[in-house]
Structure 1
Amino acid sequence: MSGAATATGPLAGLRILDLTAVVMGPYATQTLGDLGADVIKVEPPGGDNLRAVGPMRHPGMGAMALHLNRNKRSIVLDLKQPEGRAACLRLAAGCDALIYNTRPQAMARLGLAYEDVAAVNPRIVYLGAFGYGEEGPYAGQPAYDDLIQGASGVASLFAQQSGGAPRYAPVTLADRAVGLQAAIALLAAVLHARQTGQGQAVEIPMFEALTQFVMGDHLGGASFDPPLGGTGYARLLAEHRRPYATADGHLSVLIYNDKHWRAFFELIGRPELRDSPKFGSHTARAAHIAECYAFVAEVMATR
């Protein structure tokens, strides 16, 4: 394959062999392709499964697949056949990085483990983005976005906030959040390889990565030893933290700092609340955040 001579952007000159499918891996490489990287997308003869998800104007050209695979070159290889594997390794020899999102055991069965790829290109970054860390108790288990949202606690956060049943975020939150982490890690490893001449294998496990994403907000008092309280960020878990119902629809409002609250109290004709023990300072509001959101919800419903 000839080089992407017309590539522009800050990542022009970076070549990535993309063996990923569905959302997480393709989103990582789509992000890098948008920034100018030369991404070579490898698909099996049947194509990426996401191609079948509509809407679509032409068979195999579903909307999500088009979004996730823009700015990429495409090739079909049957990696289960010796010829396909050999062609993949020839491509890898000329790439800065290879990224996959199947389980490592599956790559090994194809004869495309890190040792196989590094034998043809010692400088390559070999990045795997998959369900669970290889040194953790769930190593090798299959994973999808919904399952990782559940395992990492995202689904239970909805239940804590509303008092209802757990539910998944209506976006592919795990795939896309971890996909961005994979893109960042790939760039860091490529920079290291260019500085040292040595490639490496990199692991981006969905469960561990998204759990860190969740705990950054919600570990709370358990961040300390001994703990200074329970887990959970009260502002994010407040029942009324959502678009407010008004007399003629819903409105997204965030009243955050002291200046915002003073202006709000003036607008609603309650200036005396500026000095109240619950609303008078950022610290006070944080300690009574559920009541703050409930108060705003009550006011908004009358306007």
Structure 2
Amino acid sequence: MQGPLASLKVLDFSTLLPGPFASLLLADMGAEVLRIESPTRPDLLRIMPPHDQGVSASHAYLNRNKRSLALDLKQPAALEIIKRLLGEHDILLEQFRPGVMERLGLGYEALKAINPRLIYVSITGYGQTGPYRERAGHDINYLALTGLSSYTGRADSGPLPLSIQAADIAGGSLHGVIGLLAAVIARQHSGQGQHLDVSMADCAFSLNALAGAGYLACDVLPARENQMLNGGSFYDYYRTRDGRWMSVGSLEPAFMQALCEALGRSELAVHGLDPAQQYLLKQALQAEFEKRDLAELCELFAAVDACVEPVLSLAEALAHPQLQAREVVTQVPRGDGSSQAQMACPLKFSEGLPEPRHIGVELGAHTDQVLGELGFSVERIARLRGDKVIL
């Protein structure tokens, strides 16, 4: 089985999380992904703990199914190798700051002249234009500057660091894949590639979806705990008697009625959508949840369709029958006959996806193989290694 993207060949110059998560999705769906990695400045993800048999678990996951070519892009001979690769690899993903690829002779215009069908995806913090184009940033900064953090968290304690990298993944990775595949479809009609400028800050701003629409059209400024979905209503988390938490999302009247009846407080249901009663409603619901332990509440709501679920640890989530039924974990070969448990591709295709081939490999693991496919002789490969062009 090849997968729906088996016809795509991708050169991936990215590191850390945004670009590698994007190319992981592509590789899981069958695309051939070749990572171009620096032999002198290895991807920091390679050393990120925790480690499994000496290998970073994060790197092993984010770079599964990908080949690795260790290539010093500052060496003139490296440009020849990239040009040869462009004969077949007509999608390029890069994550450098604006201008870096141009200085290396690998900018879009230069490579487009070699292959007009090239789709060139640049993922950066702030995009290719604007006063912040060369400014450093991380996920927390993009969420802060785009307004998202201003209404996330609690009114009395301020914004909270998210436990996931929302701007990196939902911004850079997922939008990058969407744009890349849209460009592939456009190329099928025009025969021409294009340059895709993906700003994680831009994409994070678009995640303001509901609150942003309300502010732009109605001048309703969101703040912490003043929106229906950010703690400004009963839609929230509630502490249990044993110090655990339950999530309550009973927005629709039928769900609210079911929630209140299950708790023995059916009279509270009428207040579900009343803005003036939200504080008192939350207090009443909290009092009811604190009367019961988490296990008791889970049993109580097991057969009640009210959008009420426990807050589970990652270990508990993996043991949940719904996630087990969806097969969210897969076993990926290490290369030594054993395998590593990893999160599976979440997309379900009726024709299936190819089985994972291998975890993320050592730096330059496929260098000789790739250069051999390009027609380089064993002697030439040895000279390139001696000249420190390749690892």
Q: Smaller-chain TM-score range? A: 0.7 to 0.9
Aligned ranges for residues 220-235 of structure 1 at < 5 Å? Answer: 220-224=213-217, 227-231=218-222, 234-235=227-228
CA distance in 2, matches of 1:8, 1:288: 56
- Corresponding residue for residue 75 of structure 1: 69
- Corresponding residue for residue 291 of structure 2: 302
Provide the secondary structure at the position in 2 that maps to 1:234: coil
Provide the secondary structure at the position in 1 that maps to 2:229: helix
Give the structure with the higher percent helix. 1
Match for 2:229 among 208, 231, 236? 236
Residue by residue over 1:41-95, the C-alpha shift from the partner in whole angstroms, topping out at 9 and shown as x without a partner, is 1111042121011112455x31111111111111111111111122122212311
Assess, with a 3 A threshold, how the Cα gap between structure 1 residues 291 and 42 changes in structure 2: closer, same or farther: farther
Deviation at 1:270, TM superposition (A): 2.8
- Corresponding residue for residue 200 of structure 1: 194
- Corresponding residue for residue 154 of structure 1: 148
CA distance in 1, matches of 2:201, 2:16: 17
Assess, with a 3 A threshold, how the Cα gap between structure 1 residues 291 and 134 changes in structure 2: closer, same or farther: farther
- Corresponding residue for residue 156 of structure 2: 163
**TM-score, normalised to structure 2's length?**
0.68
CA distance in 2, matches of 1:293, 1:146: 30
CA distance in 2, matches of 1:152, 1:49: 27
- Corresponding residue for residue 4 of structure 1: none
Provide the secondary structure at the position in 1 that maps to 2:106: coil
Structure 2: 5+ residue stretches without partners: 293-391
Assess, with a 3 A threshold, how the Cα gap between structure 1 residues 156 and 10 changes in structure 2: closer, same or farther: same
Assess, with a 3 A threshold, how the Cα gap between structure 1 residues 246 and 99 changes in structure 2: closer, same or farther: same
Residue by residue over 1:17-54, the C-alpha shift from the partner in whole angstroms, topping out at 9 and shown as x without a partner, is 11100000000000111111111111110421210111
Deviation at 1:11, TM superposition (A): 0.8
Could you tell me whether the CA contact under 8 Å between 2:121 and 2:180 is conserved in 1? yes
Provide the secondary structure at the position in 2 that maps to 1:104: coil
Are 1:173 and 2:162 matched, yes or no?
no
Provide the secondary structure at the position in 1 that maps to 2:99: helix
- Corresponding residue for residue 3 of structure 1: none
CA distance in 2, matches of 1:221, 1:173: 21
Are 1:32 and 2:26 matched, yes or no?
yes
Assess, with a 3 A threshold, how the Cα gap between structure 1 residues 105 and 287 changes in structure 2: closer, same or farther: farther
* Structure 1 stretch displaced more, 17-26 or 264-273: 264-273
CA distance in 1, matches of 2:22, 2:196: 14
- Corresponding residue for residue 45 of structure 2: 50
Residue by residue over 1:114-148, the C-alpha shift from the partner in whole angstroms, topping out at 9 and shown as x without a partner, is 01111211101011000113332322222222321
CA distance in 2, matches of 1:251, 1:135: 44
Residue by residue over 1:91-123, the C-alpha shift from the partner in whole angstroms, topping out at 9 and shown as x without a partner, is 123113101011121111111000111121110
Provide the secondary structure at the position in 2 that maps to 1:89: helix
Could you tell me whether the CA contact under 8 Å between 2:18 and 2:169 is conserved in 1? yes
- Corresponding residue for residue 138 of structure 1: 132
Structure 1: 5+ residue stretches without partners: 1-6
Deviation at 1:257, TM superposition (A): 1.4
- Corresponding residue for residue 79 of structure 2: 85
Provide the secondary structure at the position in 1 that maps to 2:206: helix
Provide the secondary structure at the position in 1 that maps to 2:134: coil
Q: Which amino acid aligns with 2:165?
A: T
Assess, with a 3 A threshold, how the Cα gap between structure 1 residues 287 and 34 changes in structure 2: closer, same or farther: farther
CA distance in 2, matches of 1:155, 1:229: 16
- Corresponding residue for residue 270 of structure 1: 265
Match for 2:179 among 178, 182, 185? 185
Could you tell me whether the CA contact under 8 Å between 1:52 and 1:62 is conserved in 2? yes
CA distance in 2, matches of 1:229, 1:152: 16
Deviation at 1:287, TM superposition (A): 6.7
Assess, with a 3 A threshold, how the Cα gap between structure 1 residues 82 and 237 changes in structure 2: closer, same or farther: same
Could you tell me whether the CA contact under 8 Å between 2:36 and 2:70 is conserved in 1? yes
Are 1:14 and 2:8 matched, yes or no?
yes
Assess, with a 3 A threshold, how the Cα gap between structure 1 residues 75 and 86 changes in structure 2: closer, same or farther: same
Assess, with a 3 A threshold, how the Cα gap between structure 1 residues 259 and 93 changes in structure 2: closer, same or farther: same
Deviation at 1:290, TM superposition (A): 5.1
Could you tell me whether the CA contact under 8 Å between 1:156 and 1:167 is conserved in 2? no
Assess, with a 3 A threshold, how the Cα gap between structure 1 residues 84 and 236 changes in structure 2: closer, same or farther: same
Could you tell me whether the CA contact under 8 Å between 2:235 and 2:250 is conserved in 1? no
Q: Which amino acid aligns with 1:52?
A: I
Assess, with a 3 A threshold, how the Cα gap between structure 1 residues 15 and 131 changes in structure 2: closer, same or farther: same
Could you tell me whether the CA contact under 8 Å between 2:230 and 2:236 is conserved in 1? no
> Relative contact order, CA 8 A, sep 6+: which one is greater?
2
